[in-house]
Copies of this chain bind each other. A is one copy, B any other.
Amino acid sequence: MAIRVLKYAILGLLSRRPMTGYDLWKEFDYELAEFWHAKHSQIYTELKKLHDEGDVTFDIEISGDVLEKKQYQLTEKGKEEFLNWLDTEEPIARTAKDVFRVRMYFCNNLPLSERIHLLEHQKAQHEKRLNTLKTTFKQYEGQDVPDYQSDRFGDFILLESAIIREEGIIKWMNRCIDYCQAASKQESIG
């Protein structure tokens, strides 16, 4: 698979503005969260590695009296490596691993009522996520697509991507529920 994605995701975020490890961690919970994320333990480890490799430097800032914050920024090398990575053709990922679909693959071993229950349970969560995404999307409503040179362009298209994805998932789950309900009806008649 693609190698060291976290490295380039961090370099990319730092290309927008200098940040601490903590800021980066928060950032992964924002728009990018729908397609990448990392725990703080992994981020701090990677930052250390990036510093050793000369891709980033940091300034220590004092917050309050004592607390040290490391503000990281890109070096020229880091910026160059990021831009180089950005403009790379890649083969599509072999699979997007999905536990729930593995479960559904074997669902013939479950009674219909239980399949419907599991599907409804998942669907409810995806609907909730979709609502959150659509709420976030409202900030763009009645406006043009963000300027193609601004950071907001990436935010915007990823948001659309996540919405389309969730809509597809819900569409599929509804279809599965329909199949199960139809089979249920057939069963009670036969």
Contacts and interface: CB of A to CB of B under 8 A. Distances in A.
B99 A150 contact: no
Given A92-B126, A179-B145, A97 B36 contact: yes
B105 A158 contact: yes
A137 B31 CA distance: 35
B9 A102 contact: yes
Per assembly, the copies of the chain total: 2
A109 to B, nearest CB: 6
A94 B37 contact: yes
Contacts of A63: none
Interface in A91-114: 91-110, 112, 114
A95 B37 CA distance: 7
Contacts of A105: 12, 31-32, 35, 154-155, 158
B36 A102 contact: yes
Interface in A23-37: 31-37
5 contacts: A87-B114, A106-B154, A107-B154, A145-B183, A160-B175
